[in-house]
């Protein structure tokens, strides 16, 4: 978005703030990203104060500083010491109020958009991207915000580094979509984002829930707290209608909880009696899937190039959102076969018929790994070779669980590094190995490139190599560094060399 000076009288947001005027180009919460004319919001995305970064923000050209009231005195002293001529504005409970300030500063963009928020452990990216594809085929100008980045459909997505960006970024992005003529937006809403008010003041037309399985317990502590964080999506302003996967136990619980108070629609691939949309006669193949979808009594056959039973659930959720939005069953059934696989989600690579099949997937939780491997088990491959690792500085409890899943569903397991962050890679691998029944049968290649080389060089015709964990990502996180690495690019190169007899 072009840096255009904006002005907001904060009394328009809350009359208690008098006539303080906020002027600047953009609202920036990270002082490292300040450009001349920006407003520095001294509040981190986790709710921690950023007052200690005011000096850096001023040195980089901040036009004004907004700080929580409890740090106002220190902020003013710093500004005076630095001879800062801009405004220093203090707001009580800034973390809570920032969404409303950002919304007003950017002209209340979500009021001009149809926005769908999707939460859940697995499937958020797929549902949002499938929904955006469907909107596009239905003639709508649409965009997305999520793990793959942000952007208008058909254009290159730009990464923000987070599934759901900071609250100041979210409203700025939505404003840029409005300026570009977008009408519909899909947003992946993480549990962190719900806890940290990152989508606060966003007006959602609908929300959707995929499933809840173990993840992020390093942040939430317990599954109960994790579920409570996800359920905050129902506390968003306006009580938007909800579409839920009620085959999931948490989804079923939420469905029954909110059924009396709002419009809720359940979807099911397991014949749940309360579902409005169900899938029957599911047929799975390496080339895709087929099923009959029932829309409240009307049944239609659907074929898709998507792979895996879990993608039936993703298609049902997409259908439910479209149905709730007012599209007919006929329109939905017509568009579903046009939806293509999402990058980094069960993507197939096989340069020749004699090559082993390679599947690249983002699976980095026990459930996602189990779902991916279960999908491959349906296709009678000669061998399933699995390459995976676990992220550092994250929930260590899922590491042995993922090991047990990989071992039980694979003929050969290769353990490698994922994003180690600041944790000792040897410790991560040791945690993983604790979950194997026969650890001596497991191959360990800490270098991810070497792990992929081993897997593909040992794979033969009829084998499948399942590379889990990184999906669409094009880097490995080592400490504070992003080391360029793409599972897709490396696998394609190795397969090409193998096809040429040079591997």
| Alpha-carbon torsion, ordered 431, 437, 443, 446, to 10 deg | 0
Contact of 282 with 91, CB cutoff 8 Å? no
E strands along 286-411, which residues? 288-295, 298-304, 347-349, 357-361, 384-388
pLDDT of residue 441: 94
Between 172 and 367, name the one with better pLDDT.
172
Confidence of residue 384 (pLDDT cuts 50, 70, 90): very high
In the block, tokens 């260590």 appear at: 396
Tens-digit pLDDT profile for residues 252-309: 998 999 888 889 999 999 989 999 999 999 988 777 889 999 997 889 999 998 988 8
pLDDT of residue 475: 87
Question: Taking Cα atoms as reference points, which of 131, 186, 138, 137 lies closest to residue 163?
Answer: 186
Contact of 375 with 407, CB cutoff 8 Å? no
Question: Does domain 6-95 correspond to CATH entry 1.10.150.120?
Answer: no
Mapped onto helix, strand or coil, the DSSP state of residue 265 is strand
Q: Where along the chain do the CATH 3.40.1190.10 domains lie?
A: 106-338
Contact of 47 with 95, CB cutoff 8 Å? yes
Confidence of residue 223 (pLDDT cuts 50, 70, 90): low
The chain-wide mean pLDDT, for the chain, equals 89
In the block, tokens 């001349």 appear at: 36
Q: Distance (Å, rounded) from C-alpha 489 to C-alpha 476?
A: 14
Tens-digit pLDDT profile for residues 404-431: 999 999 999 999 999 899 999 999 999 9
CATH number of the 106-338 domain: 3.40.1190.10
What are the tokens at 281? 């006669």
Phi, psi of 21 (to 5 degrees): -110, 125
E strands along 305-449, which residues? 347-349, 357-361, 384-388, 412-415, 443-444
Q: Where along the chain do the CATH 3.40.1390.10 domains lie?
A: 6-95
Confidence of residue 48 (pLDDT cuts 50, 70, 90): low
H/E stretch holding 475:
strand 475-478
Contact of 134 with 339, CB cutoff 8 Å? yes
| Model confidence pTM above 0.85 | no
Mapped onto helix, strand or coil, the DSSP state of residue 500 is coil
Where do runs of H (alpha helix) occur along 167-207? 167-179, 191-195
- At the second CATH level, the architecture of 347-499 is Alpha-Beta Complex (3.90)
Q: Where along the chain do the CATH 3.90.190.20 domains lie?
A: 347-499
Question: Taking Cα atoms as reference points, which of 194, 143, 185 lies closest to residue 167?
Answer: 194
Q: Give strand pairing partners of 481.
A: 478
pLDDT of residue 144: 95
Report DSSP letters for 218-257, one per residue: HHHSSHHHHHHHHHGGGGSTT---EEEETTSHHHHHHHHH
């Amino acid at each position: 978005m072009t840096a255009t000076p904006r002005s907001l009288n904060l009394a328009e947001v809350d009359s208690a703030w008098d006539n303080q005027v906020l002027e600047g180009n953009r609202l920036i919460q990270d002082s490292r990203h300040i450009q001349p004319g920006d407003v520095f919001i001294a509040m981190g995305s986790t709710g921690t104060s950023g007052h200690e970064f005011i000096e850096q923000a001023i040195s980089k050209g901040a036009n004004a500083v907004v700080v929580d009231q409890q740090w106002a005195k220190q902020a003013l002293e710093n500004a005076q010491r630095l001879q800062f001529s801009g405004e220093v504005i203090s707001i009580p409970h800034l973390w809570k109020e920032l969404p409303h300030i950002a919304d007003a500063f950017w002209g209340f963009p979500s009021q001009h958009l149809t926005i769908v928020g999707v939460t859940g452990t697995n499937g958020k990216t797929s549902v949002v991207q499938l929904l955006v594809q469907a909107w596009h085929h239905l003639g709508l100008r649409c965009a997305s915000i999520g793990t793959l980045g942000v952007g208008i459909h058909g254009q290159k997505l730009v990464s923000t580094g987070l599934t759901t960006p900071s609250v100041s970024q979210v409203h700025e992005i939505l404003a840029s979509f409005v300026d570009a003529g977008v009408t519909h937006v899909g947003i992946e809403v993480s549990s962190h984002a719900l806890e940290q008010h990152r989508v606060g003041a966003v007006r959602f037309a609908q929300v959707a829930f995929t499933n809840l399985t173990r993840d992020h317990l390093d942040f939430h502590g317990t599954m109960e707290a994790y579920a409570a964080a996800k359920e905050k999506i129902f506390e968003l302003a306006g009580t938007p209608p909800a579409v839920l996967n009620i085959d999931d136990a948490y989804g079923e619980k939420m469905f029954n909880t909110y059924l009396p108070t709002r419009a809720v629609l359940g979807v099911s691939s397991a014949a749940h009696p309360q579902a409005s949309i169900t899938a029957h006669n599911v047929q799975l193949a390496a080339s895709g899937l087929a099923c009959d979808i029932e829309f409240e009594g009307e049944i239609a056959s659907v074929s898709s190039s998507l792979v895996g039973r879990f993608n039936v659930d993703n298609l049902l959720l997409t259908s439910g959102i479209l149905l709730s939005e007012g599209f007919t069953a006929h329109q939905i059934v017509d568009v579903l076969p046009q939806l293509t696989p999402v990058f980094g989600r069960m993507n197939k690579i096989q340069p020749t018929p004699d090559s082993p099949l390679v599947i690249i997937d983002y699976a980095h939780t026990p459930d996602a790994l189990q779902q991916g491997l279960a999908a491959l088990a349906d296709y009678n491959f000669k061998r399933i070779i699995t390459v995976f690792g676990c992220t550092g500085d994250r929930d260590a409890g899922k590491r042995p669980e993922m090991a047990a899943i990989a071992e039980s569903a694979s003929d050969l397991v290769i353990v490698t590094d994922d994003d180690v962050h600041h944790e000792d890679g040897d410790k991560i691998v040791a945690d993983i190995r604790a979950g194997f029944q026969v650890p001596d049968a497991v191959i360990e290649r800490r270098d991810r490139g070497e792990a992929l080389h081993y897997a593909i060089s040992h794979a033969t015709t009829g084998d499948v190599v399942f590379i889990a964990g990184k999906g669409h990502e094009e880097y490995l996180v080592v400490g504070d560094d992003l080391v360029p690495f793409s599972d897709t690019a490396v696998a394609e190169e190795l397969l090409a060399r193998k096809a040429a007899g040079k591997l």
